[in-house]
Amino acid sequence: MVVASGPVLQIARGSICTISLGLITLTCPLGFIQTSLASSSIVLGLVVPTATIVAATILLGRVFCGWICPAGNVMQHFGDVGRSRYLPGLRLTSFFQQNSTRIVLLGSTLVASAVLRYPVFCVVCPVGIICRNVISLVHYGSIGLDLLLIPGIVALELVLAPWCAHICPLGTTLSVLSRKSTIVPVIDKAKCVVCSICTKVCSLKVSLIHSRALEDCSKCLECSVRCPTNAIEWRKRAES
Amino acid sequence: MLVEKALELLGGTEKLVPREAAILVKPNVGFYEKDATTDPQLTAAVVKALKRAKPIRIVVGESSVRGYDTDHALEATEMRSVVEEAGAEVKNLRKDPIVRVEIPEGRAITSVSVFKTVHDSSYIVSVPRLKRHSATVTTISLKNMMGTLPDNEKGRFHQVDLSQCIADLNSAVRPNLVIIDGTRVMTKSGPTGGVMVDLNMVVASLDPVAADVVAAEELFKAEGVADPRRSITSIEHIQRAAELGVGVADRSKIEVLEVTLA
Amino acid sequence: MNRREFLRVFGVGIGVIALFDMFPRIIRRRNLVRPPGSVVEEAFNAVCIRCARCIQVCPTGAIVIADMSDGFKELGTPKIDPLRGPCERIQGRCDQKAKCAEVCPTGAIRPIDRRAAKTGSAIINADRCIAWRGGSCLVCYEVCPVQGAISLMDESRPIFHADICVGCGRCVYACPAQPKALTLTSEGERRLWPD
């Protein structure tokens, strides 16, 4: 919502691909890597804006996914609801739930960018598509056919896997950076009643009970808010 | 100074302008360049003179040539700052709502869309810069009235018959007073890129056609044209406006009071 | 995952992209007109991060986002549409500094000297031109900011000189003919070379 309202209210300059608020400019790290690969050079103007997001991600994990991305949560919600309503019996293949699959997907977009010489994922990125269409709508009253990709991705989600947790290459990039994130959710074993609500509500499919995929944690705080016994705390990693 | 004197010769604004008029001053701010647009100081002098007639309001309004942004033109020519300092409201007419006006005597068009401010004004003052024009030979007070039209209407004029449409427009949306900026005039070609000549002249009139005729003659004289009065008979929009009764184009019937300031 | 699954995912991905890439190119016949100071097309598509900042900042609204029909590679990048507004790098609100070049974070659009800027050229379809069909119209000649880009034949019909034209598109925007008698093409554009 922050990102969508930025261009509308003219507070921020740009879209999520590169956005400026006053003197601070931020850039999508995946966009930086793709454009650098596509042009066989380091895009100097993006170095500092990328570094800012990278630093934030290393410290806090996938906060971008939890608090800034306007696309992911929405699409994934439709995916989850759609799947439970229309395809109740469907068992998602474990293929996409393996970590290696999403790494390969990310790798493919990077290779494609280098070979085809343009940032391939930037064109289909749902976040980018939403931002650009908001800007074009506000500035000259029209939207593009690329918006159709959004329901297309939701449809893929229904049969393949949740977008944010298992497919999104930007998310994968941020996960890689988050491996050593300093703040993590921790269960107080004394209070925990093993109800698994935290696992069910996590939009990034982090399994807190099994301490699995903690690097995917987006700090959306949903688990700690919904825990019936307030057993979840946010601590520095060293202490856990 | 020139403006004051010219208006004095006509009788003074207190006599010319009805009480409690809603005045629209229409200068030429069609482009971003100062040479191609009415002098802001002159426009401010017009505003000051009009204030003596105690109007309800004076609006200085314009809708620039298509492809030029009116707000930027008002800023780049300094028209906005100078006129606001003189105490009138400056309006970008392009942002106005549009009103339809009938032209009962129109030959090419029988109705026209104008901006609401124009329609709501009871007294219109056309303040053009004296220039040559590629399509209409000259652009003076009659052509200047095209700035009261929305863009698509301007386009329609060119599609139908530019000169007749200008005449038709002026028969329905007639300037009550005309003050022509002849301080620096554009000769040889226009409405942009011509040769600027200092004439230090102002032509004022209650008759836009007569004013255009007299001013065009001065322009041609400055260029060294062989027979200025004959050249004017070839300016179609002026002749057609005279035919519609907007004013008098016959030079022999126009009385000119001339004063030279030392 | 095993090699077969890997190749399948990879292959399908590349196939989809290649298809998207080819299809619009068959429909679109003309090259896009890019903002003044853009780098050569190959480098432009590689480095533009599709952030749309230039669209937001253009004072005339001339820059718009290229859509599906412009090509998959070009989708999301900026292009000039003179029907929305002219480019004022030569004369107007950007004649000191191009606002698009100022905000571009990747260097796809770079500052360029006003005298060197040329986004393309305007071309005329005389069949549609009011003047060429006998009417009285010289709006293109009146609004052109560049001396000599348009000259007059018999003082009434416009002739366009692509070598002098800077491609601002003001004539295209102002042309009152319906349908428009003028188009802006990328002919003769001056692009920058990234080091």
d(CA A30, CA C72): 19
| B near C: at least 3 beta-carbon pairs less than 8 Å apart | yes
Per-residue pLDDT, A11: 60
Mean pLDDT of chain B: 95
- Rounded distance between C-alpha atoms, residue C107 and residue C44, angstroms: 9
Residue C158 CA to residue A44 CA, distance in Å, equals 46
Subunits in contact with chain A (3 or more CB pairs closer than 8 Å): C
pLDDT of residue A6: 47
The minimal CB distance from A140 to the residues C48, C53, C84 is found for C84
Nearest by Cα to A28 from A11, A3, A7, A5: A3
A210 and A161 in a common domain: no
Residues A191 and A159 in one domain: no
How much is the pLDDT for B238? 97
| Same domain flag for A218 and A100 | no
pLDDT in tens, C54-71: 999 999 999 999 988 888
Residue A180 confidence (pLDDT): 75
- What's the pLDDT score for residue C44? 97
Regarding whether A133 and A238 lie in a shared domain, the answer is: no
Token pair in block for residue C38: 């853009």
**C142 with B135: Cβ contact below 8 A:** yes
Put simply, the answer to whether C60 touches B69 (Cβ < 8 Å) is yes
Say if the Cβ atoms of C10 and A108 lie within 8 Å: yes
Beta-sheet pairing, C121-124 with B111-115: unpaired
Q: Are strands B137-139 and B129-133 parallel, antiparallel or unpaired?
A: antiparallel
Tell me the pLDDT tens digit for each residue of A93-124.
777 777 888 888 899 889 989 988 999 999 98
* Chain C residues close to A135, C-beta within 8 Å: 52, 55-56, 65
* Interface contact flag, C136 B158, Cβ < 8 Å: yes
Please check whether residues A206 and A93 belong to one and the same domain: no
Which of B132, B158, B188, B237 best probes binding to C when mutated, by most C CB atoms within 10 angstroms? B158
Q: What is the mean pLDDT of chain A?
A: 82
Q: Which of A158, A213, A165, A153 is nearest to A185 (CA)?
A: A213
Over the stretch B20-30, which tens digit does the pLDDT of each residue have? 999 999 999 99
Those residues whose C-beta lies under 8 Å from the C-beta of residue B11, and which sit 6 or more positions away, are none
Three-class HEC string of chain A: CHHHHHHHHCCCEEECCEEEECCEEEECHHHHHHHHHHCCCCCHHHHHHHHHHHHHHHHHCCHHHHHHCCCHHHHHHHHHHHHHHHCCCCCCCHHHHCHHHHHHHHHHHHHHHHHHCCCHHHHHCHHHHHHHHHHHHHHHCCCCHHHHHHHHHHHHHHHCCCHHHHHCHHHHHHHHHHCCCCEEEEECCCCCCCCCHHHHHCCCCCECCCCECHHHCCCCCHHHHHCCCCCEEEEEHHHC
* Nearest residue of C to residue B160, measured between CA atoms: C135
Over range B91-111, report the average pLDDT: 96
pLDDT for the residue numbered C48: 96
Q: Chain C residue with minimal CA distance to A129?
A: C76
> The domain containing residue A202 runs over which residues?
182-240
A4-61 pLDDT per residue, tens: 444 444 566 788 888 888 788 889 999 999 999 999 999 998 999 999 889 888 888 8
- CA dist., res. C168 & res. B193, Å (int): 17
- How many other C-beta atoms lie within 10 A of the C-beta of residue C73? 24
User: B105: helix, coil or strand?
Assistant: coil
State the total domains in chain A.
2
Tokens for A188, please give them: 């107080």
Lowest-pLDDT choice from A68-77, B99-108, C167-176: A68-77
What percent of chain A shows pLDDT beyond 70? 93
Average pLDDT over residues B182-189: 96
Do A23 and A90 fall within a single domain? yes
Q: What pLDDT does residue C181 have?
A: 97
Work out the average pLDDT over B16-20: 93
Residue B59: how many other CB atoms lie within 10 Å: 20
Burial of A207 per CB tally in 10 Å (0-12, 13-18, 19+): middle
Roughly how many angstroms between the first and final C-alpha of chain C, as a whole number? 41
Of A92 and B44, the structure prediction assigns the larger pLDDT to: B44
Contact at CB, C142 and B155, closer than 8 angstroms: no
Write down the pLDDT at residue A1. Answer: 42
pLDDT tens track, chain C, 195 positions: 567 776 777 777 777 777 766 666 666 668 999 999 999 999 999 999 999 999 999 999 999 999 888 888 899 999 999 999 999 999 999 999 999 999 999 999 999 999 999 999 999 999 999 999 999 999 999 999 999 999 999 999 999 999 999 999 999 999 999 999 999 999 999 999 987
- How many beta-carbon pairs below 8 A join chains B and C? 64
Query: Is A47 in the C-facing interface, judged by CB distances under 8 Å?
Result: no
Nearest-Cα distance to chain B for C83, in Å, is 10
Residue where a domain terminates, one of A130, A165, A180: A180
Contact A144 C68 (CB under 8 A): yes
Interface A:B, ≥3 CB–CB pairs < 8 Å: no
Tell me the shortest Cα–Cα distance from A15 to chain C, in angstroms: 5
B2-129+139-181+199-206 is classed CATH 1.20.970.10: no
Chosen for mutation from B34, B70, B162 (greatest number of chain C CBs closer than 10 Å) is B162
Amino acid A3: pLDDT: 44
> Which chains sit next to C, with 3 or more Cβ pairs under 8 A?
A, B
pLDDT digits (tens, 9 = 90+) for B44-96: 999 999 999 999 999 999 999 999 999 999 999 999 999 999 999 999 999 99
Provide the residue ranges of all domains of chain B, joining segments of one domain with +.
2-129+139-181+199-206
pLDDT over 60 (residue A239): no
Nearest-by-Cβ selection for B67 from C170, C177, C178: C170
Q: Specify the pLDDT at position C23.
A: 66
Task: Show the tokens assigned to A196.
Answer: 């698994």
Residue range A221-227: mean pLDDT, rounded: 84
Indicate whether A142 and A61 sit together in one domain.
yes
Cα distances (Å, whole numbers) of residue B59 to A120, B128, B178, C60: 55, 16, 16, 26
Q: What is the ipTM metric for this complex?
A: 0.92
Under an 8 A CB cutoff, do A27 and C49 touch?
Answer: yes
Q: pLDDT class for B185, splitting at 50, 70, 90?
A: very high
C-contacting residues in B 187-216 (Cβ below 8 Å)? 191-193
Closest partner CB to A146 (pick from C10, C21, C75): C75
Could you tell me which residues are beta bridge partners of residue B187? Answer: B195
B-chain residues within 8 Å CB-CB of C93?
69, 72
Report the gap between the CA of A109 and the closest CA in chain C (Å): 9
Residues B237-246: pLDDT tens digits? 999 999 999 9
C-alpha angle with apex B206: B203 to B209, nearest 5 degrees? 75
Asked whether C and A share 3 or more beta-carbon pairs under 8 angstroms, the answer is yes
Min Cα distance C125 → chain A (Å) is 27
CATH number of the domain where residue A231 is located: 3.30.70.20
* C contact test, residue of A118, A138, A160 with most C CBs within 10 A: A118
Q: How far apart are the first and last CA of chain B?
A: 11
Q: Cα distance from C86 to chain A (closest Cα, Å)? A: 14
First to last CA, chain A: 33
Contacts of A104 in chain C (CB under 8 A): 1, 6, 9-10
Domain boundaries, chain C: 31-185
